[in-house]
Structure 1
C-alpha cells in the first residue's frame, strides 16, 4: 500500500472505499492546490487570472497526454453537461435534425437528449446490448440527416468497453456527421490513444471526478482538427475568434487542485499503461474472490463471458437486491454504489489487495444473510 501514504486525509488505509469508479480519493497534494488558489486570490485579487490560466493550461496538457494528442485543442468546463450544450449548439440541427445515441448513456447526455427530443429533436436510441455489436449498429443508423452520434466508450452501468468505435467514426465521416465519445469512464483506467483507436476526428468529453482524482469542476472537451470552423451558439463571454469554445467566469480552484494531482501522478509514474495494469489486477482479484464465494446466481452474479480486457475499472455484480446489498455493505463499512440491478465495486490504486479481499468477505456475509431473510 505504498500509495496510501499519500492519501492520509482521505484515510484510505482505514476505510474500504470501493467507489473508485465514481469518486476516487484525492492525494494530499490536492489540498495544497486548493490553498494555493486561496493564496493567489488573496495576494493578486483581480490579477490572479494569469496564474489561474497557467493551471488551466496544465489541465489541458494533462488531457492531451491522456489522449495521446499532443497538439489537440481542449475546451474546459465545470461539467460535461456544460460542454455537451456547447457542442450541440455548434451543430446545424435545422438541416440535420437527428442525434444518434444509445439507451445506456450517462445522465449528463441522457437527460439533455431526452429533453431535446421532447422539444422536437429527432433522437434515435440504439440498444446498448449486446455491446459487441453496438458500434456496428450505431454506424448503420447514421444517415445524411444525422448531425452527431453521442456514445460512451465504457458503459457506466456495467463497465463494458465498447469496441470498434472507429467504425462509427468512419460512418460519420462518410456523411459529414460528428462523433462525440464520452470517455469519462475510460480515461485513467483504460488507455485511449486517439490515432490508434481511429478516433483522430472525434470529439471526446470527460472529466476528473472519477479515475483521474482531480475532483469536481475539471471537465474537458477535445475538439477535433476538422471542427476549427465550428462556432457554438451557446458559449460564454470569454469566447472570441481566437477561442470560440471558451466559457465564462469560473472558480479556478478546481484547476489548481487538478494541476497538483496531475503532477503527483507524473511523479508516481501513474501513466495510463501502469494504471491499466493496476486496474486489471485489482478487478481480477475482486472477480476471483467473488467467484470463490459461490453464491446463488439468482441472488448475485457477474458477467463471466466477457474477457477481462473487455471491462473498464469496476466490477459490476447483477442482483435483484443490489440496493439492499449496497446498504448492508455500507453498514459494515464497505462503501460501494448501485445502478438499478447492478452493484458496482470500484477499486483504486491506493487500495491494497488485503482490503479488496476483506470487502469481498463482507459481501459474502451480507449476501448470505439476504439469501436467508
Structure 2
C-alpha cells in the first residue's frame, strides 16, 4: 500500500508501476487530460485478445463481465453503490442518448453555461440551429453559477447541463444541490458532467444532493483507464424516458411490457440507455486498472489528498516566479480548495507558451487563454517544481 509521503519524494514510489509511459524520465503535466496507464494495463489488453482468439463470438459473456467490473468501479468513485450505469465510448454519445430522451417538442429549452466542454458546447450549438432554445449562462462568477442557472429554470425547460468542475479553469462549481432542487421543483432534468471531478475531488452523489441527477463522465483523465471508458449514471426516475437514439443492446434482458407491438420496447434501468456492438478491449483494460488501484491502495480519499497537495505545489512554485499579473496570472480570489485537479494560468499567449514548454521537455496544454498544468500521482514534487520553473526560461 502506498502512503502519501511516498508520493512526494524523488523518485515517486508509484513511478515504477508506470514504466511503459516513462513517467520518471518525462515531465508529463497533462494529467488533467490524459494520465499514464499503469503497466498492468497491458494485461487487460492481452486478456481481451486471448478471449477473442479462444472463444471467438462466444467471448461476449466474458466481455459483459468486464463491463460490469467497470460499472462497479465507477460506482465506487461516484460514492453511489446502487447506481445504474450505462457505458459508452465517449461522453458525447451518452449525452446524445440523454438528449434524445427529452421531450424537446413540448419543452424546447435547454439551459447550460459558456464553460462546458466542447462535446456539449458543439452539440447544443447545433441543436440551437434547429429551433431548440439554448440558454448559455456565463460561468463566471463561479460562486453564483448554480443559483443563476436555477433562475433560468421554467416550465418550458427540458434540462440543465452543467459541469461539476469547469474544464478551462479547474474551478469547482458549488451549490449543485440547490440547483438540483430547483430542477426537481419544475420537473426539469439535470445533467452533471463529473469528468474533471472523479479522482481529484471527493464525490458522493447522495451526499451532494444529486441522487436525482443524470451524471456523465469517464476514466480517460484522472482514473487512468484510457480511451473508450465513459459512463452515464441513470437516476431512478429514468424508466419513464424512451431515448430516440437507442442501440440494439437495449433489447437484452427483461423488457418492459408494451401493449402496442409496433412500439419499441425498453428494459428498466441502465439498459434503457444501452448502445450497440463495441470494442470491449477498453473494458478489459479499465477493469485491470481498477484492480490495480485496489492493489496499490489508490483510494478516492488518497488520490484527493495527493491532488490537493500537488496542485498546491504547482501554485506555490508559480507564485515564487513573480510574473506580473498582466503577463501571466492565476486566480487568487479563492482558496486552493475551490480548485480541482490542475492549475490554470491565464495569459494572452497560452498556446505559444505551451509550445515553448514542450520544446523544453514539459508537456502541458492550453484551452483558450488558459495554460493548464495537470499533475498526476506518479510525479514527484521535484518534477512539479521543475516543470513550473521552465516558464521562466
Do the two structures share a fold, i.e. TM-score over 0.5? yes
| Correspondence 1:254 to 2:282 | yes
Give distance in 2, aligned partners of 1:33 and 1:276. Answer: 26
Shift of 1:229: 2.3
Shift of 1:22: 0.2
Partner of 1:368: none
| Correspondence 1:54 to 2:65 | yes
Corresponding residue to 1:299 among 327, 331, 337: 327
| Correspondence 1:337 to 2:370 | no
Shift of 1:32: 1.0
Give distance in 1, aligned partners of 2:293 and 2:200. Answer: 13
CA offsets 1:309-365 (integer angstroms, 9 cap, x no match): 100100000111111111110000000000111000000000001101111111121
Partner of 2:5: none
CA offsets 1:155-203 (integer angstroms, 9 cap, x no match): 0000000000011100110010100000011111111101110101000
Partner of 1:284: 312
Partner of 1:363: 391
Q: Unpaired runs of 5+ in structure 1?
A: 366-373
Corresponding residue to 2:136 among 125, 131, 139: 125
Partner of 1:100: 111
Give distance in 1, aligned partners of 2:34 and 2:341. Answer: 12
Deviates more, 1:228-237 or 1:338-347: 228-237
Alignment of 1:1-373 (within 5 A): 1-240=12-251, 241=255, 242=267, 243-365=271-393
Give distance in 1, aligned partners of 2:169 and 2:192. Answer: 17
The question of whether the paired residues in 1 share the 8 Å contact of 2:112 and 2:149 is answered with yes
SS of residue in 2 equivalent to 1:132: helix
Give distance in 2, aligned partners of 1:212 and 1:293. Answer: 31
Aligned residues: 365
Partner of 2:259: none
Give distance in 2, aligned partners of 1:295 and 1:245. Answer: 49
Shift of 1:209: 0.8
Deviates more, 1:250-259 or 1:224-233: 224-233
Partner of 1:371: none
Shift of 1:216: 0.5
CA offsets 1:235-277 (integer angstroms, 9 cap, x no match): 1111123322111000000000000000111111111111110
CA offsets 1:62-117 (integer angstroms, 9 cap, x no match): 11111111111000011111001100111111111111000110001001000000
Deviates more, 1:228-237 or 1:308-317: 228-237
Partner of 1:370: none
Give distance in 2, aligned partners of 1:276 and 1:37. Answer: 31
Structure-1-length-normalised TM-score: 0.97
Give distance in 2, aligned partners of 1:116 and 1:210. Answer: 28
Give distance in 2, aligned partners of 1:101 and 1:53. Answer: 34
Give distance in 1, aligned partners of 2:177 and 2:230. Answer: 24
Shift of 1:11: 0.2
The question of whether the paired residues in 1 share the 8 Å contact of 2:239 and 2:272 is answered with no
Give distance in 1, aligned partners of 2:349 and 2:113. Answer: 26
Give distance in 2, aligned partners of 1:91 and 1:216. Answer: 28
SS of residue in 2 equivalent to 1:359: helix
Moved over 6 A (4+): none
